[in-house]
């Protein structure tokens, strides 16, 4: 009988932790996409300063601005930039297309991020950014091992995406029923002074829900 109560108690803790994920997931994914945009902006600025590609810069900015009034036209223009522009602006256009598509079709947006992450012609930093967003979008559906493999290269000690990658893996483990491993990862994030404060707070809350 005690085993039955233990199983029920464990399921309740897991359910509480998943409720916290549902509460925070829009902010986490939205934040990751925003970071991708910021990273893309930095690469764009570097590319512009180095090559002075005023025409491509203008095309990209015009296509991006269109998204506020006409998403369909913006997507058409972004695809044109992705097809015809230099590698830097091509990657930026693809990332912007993925972000816009995500708002309308989650599955298609995820596939676009995965394609960018797998494209060795894209800047490594942008590939990692796309892989991180793809991992966060996949945790609700993909097997935990697949999520872990997709972000394995992002979790190094100095990788800029390591903290978000660990959070994605922890959630994947939790959804797979591996509460012990999920709790271990969440606690390591909560105790990591190098992790962003908001992420540490989220990790601590989920760890408390799992460990209580």
User: pLDDT at position 1, please?
Assistant: 42
Domains along the sequence of the chain with CATH? 2-211 (1.25.10)
pLDDT higher than 80, residue 12:
no
User: pLDDT at position 136, please?
Assistant: 83
Q: What is the mean pLDDT of residues 117-132?
A: 88
Query: What percentage of residues in the chain have a pLDDT greater than 70?
Result: 73
Within 10 Å of residue 198's Cβ, how many Cβ atoms? 12
pLDDT higher than 90, residue 80:
yes
User: pLDDT at position 9, please?
Assistant: 46
Within 10 Å of residue 186's Cβ, how many Cβ atoms? 28
**Whole-structure pTM value:** 0.70
Please measure the distance between the N-terminal and C-terminal CA atoms of the chain and give it in whole angstroms.
Answer: 21
Stronger pLDDT, 57 or 115, i.e. the higher one: 115
Give the integer Cα–Cα distance in Å for 171 and 185: 9
Read off the pLDDT of residues 90-121 as tens digits, 9 standing for 90 and up: 888 999 899 899 888 989 999 999 999 999 99
Q: How far is CA 159 from CA 95, 114, 152, in A?
A: 20, 19, 11
Within 10 Å of residue 106's Cβ, how many Cβ atoms? 14
């Amino acid at each position: 009988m005690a085993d039955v109560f233990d199983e029920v108690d464990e399921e309740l803790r897991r359910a509480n932790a998943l409720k916290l994920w549902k509460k925070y997931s829009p902010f986490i994914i939205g934040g990751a996409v925003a970071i991708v945009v910021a990273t893309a902006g930095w690469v764009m600025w570097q590319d512009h300063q180095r090559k002075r590609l005023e025409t491509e810069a203008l095309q990209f900015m015009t296509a991006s601005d269109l998204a506020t009034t006409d998403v369909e036209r913006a997507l058409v223009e972004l695809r044109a930039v992705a097809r015809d522009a230099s590698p830097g602006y091509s990657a930026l256009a693809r990332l912007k297309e993925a972000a816009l598509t995500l708002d309308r079709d989650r599955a298609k947006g995820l596939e676009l991020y995965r394609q960018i992450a797998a494209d060795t012609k894209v800047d490594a930093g942008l590939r990692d950014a796309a892989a991180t967003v793809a991992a966060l979008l996949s945790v609700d559906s993909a097997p935990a091992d697949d999520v872990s493999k997709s972000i394995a290269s992002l979790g190094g000690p100095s990788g800029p995406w390591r903290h978000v990658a660990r959070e994605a893996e922890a959630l994947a483990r939790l959804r797979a029923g591996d509460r012990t491993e999920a709790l271990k990862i969440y606690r390591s994030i909560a105790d990591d002074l190098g992790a962003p404060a908001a992420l540490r707070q989220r990790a601590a809350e989920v760890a408390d829900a799992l460990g209580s």
